[in-house]
Chains A and B, each alone.
Chain A
């Protein structure tokens, strides 16, 4: 498994089972997803009405960046008023499903992507803004462009974790996505550095179409003076910048790009952990080899001085 899934596997398998005539029963499960997202899947009214609720830390920010319209577009008629303690709820009635298999699968897919879609709003908004800005910019030459267009739009901040945030900023020729990362663990930080260096170098070596990746320990210029960005330069917080070029922002690519970039942090951490597991397995193998060598090096049973019962010894004649 190189890439993480975007959908929640539990929601997917559960709904698929129910939609295809699995045994009906009451469900009441609280499950977690990455980044402190909590889902609550339940059947509050009757066994056929499945309510899926989502709680996400930065929901207020997402709404501010247009999450409501994205979610309405995706879930339209299934939206119900949010369950208390949660931010967003959809409810499906098993007796009122799309008739064909394709429609059912599509619905399962869409609901299992609930978190992804909620988080997608600021990206979609930024991508739209990019298209708008690039259209405007095409009317001017680079010298005569008015201030607003040359600088680009506002910076959208999503504080999706307690100490980490994503910043998205559109301008007329690119969209910049900046992740702030923090490592609690020294080892992880070192692994992280190696990984990030690879990301930065990948473009130079083979993959020309990849977005440009930059890594630095102080806030990049885009975030200078942005409220809430720590200005300390003790190297604790790292900033990873992805520069998405127009070719990544085309209509066909857009959904895929959003999904990818959202899971970046989890992908990053998953691979740090997987590398540790790999290194551990090599260490175990190496230890086993050393042990084998040690066992082989055991001296042959050496000649001990043997005594008779009365305490005399036999002298070995040379």
Chain B
């Protein structure tokens, strides 16, 4: 039966989980990776931030069971008393339930909760019998192989999935960019800029393999932009400067400008159609109007000029991308410059890609010029820099998974239950590269 059913694609991120079936162009469900259980919040922090924090205790010391582990003492149906996703947030707002975020910094932190989260995603939301479907899961770059094994144990032993494939998010994001008309050859070489709510990663990928040593992360992402917008609203003394309003303004009005100074001048010149008004509707029927001004272009600008927002982190994103590529092996650098792919919600600003491409090109051209001068007359053949924006950026990894999961050969790349039983969890340490050379 597994031969006809569409594969299930699950992309569990720190903030949001994207669930759906392969072949669709958008996930069926997108909800917070949150689980509400009876009792107080387990785990420390649990703010769901993707920001690297000080590790208090590695998970092998607590056995991955988390500090709670109360469940083991229960003999009733307490283990089924929980909610996930938006229902979890609603339940935690009341009393009696505490909210937990089983994924932290992209990696699964609490396996007990994650197992139940998956169980509910499969049976309540996706409504599939896991035995009938192949599953494509995602993992962050640099995920330890032990985590993969633990994932496989749960998937095969608890859920008896028909087949399992675990792909790296960055590679899937590259695959998602194949839908762009700018991409001619479907290669899996490129630099992925993945910017979500908590953290931005720059990940070089060569032929489908992540160059782990060159990955850089930037502590500026969606949440920071929201906070920056909020602080601007506060300074101006707007009637509503809540985080929600700031987020709405960020999503609806912000764009990336080519040059801040000129943009300021343009705002002052054509103030009528540059300044906007945002109407906030409250639940009780009242409305307020908030002016939207320079934050329209200033907010995304913190990627390019971080000094206007943060005092600790001062390297602009284009410089980081350039550094990442320069630290990668020399034979793939050309491919990495040519295929810079955006992924994640914080890369959706208008002209984000164009600005990034221009800035990186300036850096590259300056370097080429300098080395030409040093070499005394040699001419460089030039280097192509291309940043690719496409329509599926928001759920890039999920869409890439959907794209690869619907190909006829996908199932032959999966590890099946029989293979797992034969070899054991270590089987998932290695997967044949899906969508790589040799496949269509």
A residues apposed to B, CB below 8 Å: 1-2, 4-5, 8-10, 28-36, 38, 161-162, 184-185, 187-188, 266, 269-270, 273-274, 276-278, 280-282, 284-289, 291
Is B119 an interface position by the 8 A CB rule?
Answer: yes
Partner of B72, one of A34, A35, A266, A281: A281
Partner of B64, one of A10, A34, A284, A286: A284
B residues apposed to A, CB below 8 Å: 1, 4-6, 8, 20-21, 23-26, 28-29, 60-65, 69, 71-72, 77, 79-80, 82, 111-112, 115-116, 119-120, 123-133, 154, 157-160
CA distance A28 to B24 in the complex (A): 7
Partner of A34, one of B71, B119, B128, B157: B128
Contact partners of B25 in chain A: CB under 8 A: 28
What residue in chain B is nearest A265 (Cβ atoms)?
B129
User: What is the minimal beta-carbon distance from B403 to any residue of chain A, in angstroms?
Assistant: 14
Contact partners of B62 in chain A: CB under 8 A: 288
User: What is the minimal beta-carbon distance from A287 to any residue of chain B, in angstroms?
Assistant: 5
Contact partners of A284 in chain B: CB under 8 A: 63-65, 69, 111-112
Contact partners of B24 in chain A: CB under 8 A: 28-31
Q: Across chains A and B, which 6 residue pairs bring their CB atoms closest together, nearest first?
A: A288-B63, A281-B112, A285-B72, A278-B79, A282-B72, A285-B69
User: What is the minimal beta-carbon distance from B38 to any residue of chain A, in angstroms?
Assistant: 13
Contact partners of A282 in chain B: CB under 8 A: 71-72
What residue in chain A is nearest B61 (Cβ atoms)?
A291
**Contact between A280 and B69 (Cβ–Cβ < 8 Å)?**
no
User: What is the minimal beta-carbon distance from B419 to any residue of chain A, in angstroms?
Assistant: 15
User: What is the minimal beta-carbon distance from B76 to any residue of chain A, in angstroms?
Assistant: 11
**Contact between B127 and A184 (Cβ–Cβ < 8 Å)?**
no
CA distance A31 to B154 in the complex (A): 24
**Contact between A184 and B128 (Cβ–Cβ < 8 Å)?**
no
CA distance A36 to B131 in the complex (A): 11
**Contact between A288 and B5 (Cβ–Cβ < 8 Å)?**
no
The 15 listed contacts between A and B (C-beta, < 8 Å) are A4-B123, A4-B127, A5-B127, A33-B127, A34-B127, A162-B1, A185-B160, A187-B157, A276-B158, A277-B115, A280-B115, A280-B157, A284-B111, A285-B72, A288-B69
Of A9, A33, A280, A285, chain B has the most CB atoms within 10 Å of the CB of A285
**Contact between A276 and B21 (Cβ–Cβ < 8 Å)?**
no
CA distance A270 to B60 in the complex (A): 29
Partner of B79, one of A31, A35, A274: A274
What residue in chain B is nearest A162 (Cβ atoms)?
B1
**Contact between B21 and A30 (Cβ–Cβ < 8 Å)?**
yes
What residue in chain B is nearest A35 (Cβ atoms)?
B129
Contact partners of A32 in chain B: CB under 8 A: 5-6, 8, 21, 126-128, 133
What residue in chain A is nearest B81 (Cβ atoms)?
A1
CA distance A29 to B126 in the complex (A): 13
**Contact between A36 and B132 (Cβ–Cβ < 8 Å)?**
yes
**Contact between B127 and A9 (Cβ–Cβ < 8 Å)?**
yes
* Known contacts A32-B128, A276-B158, A1 near B80 by CB under 8 Å: yes
What residue in chain B is nearest A10 (Cβ atoms)?
B28
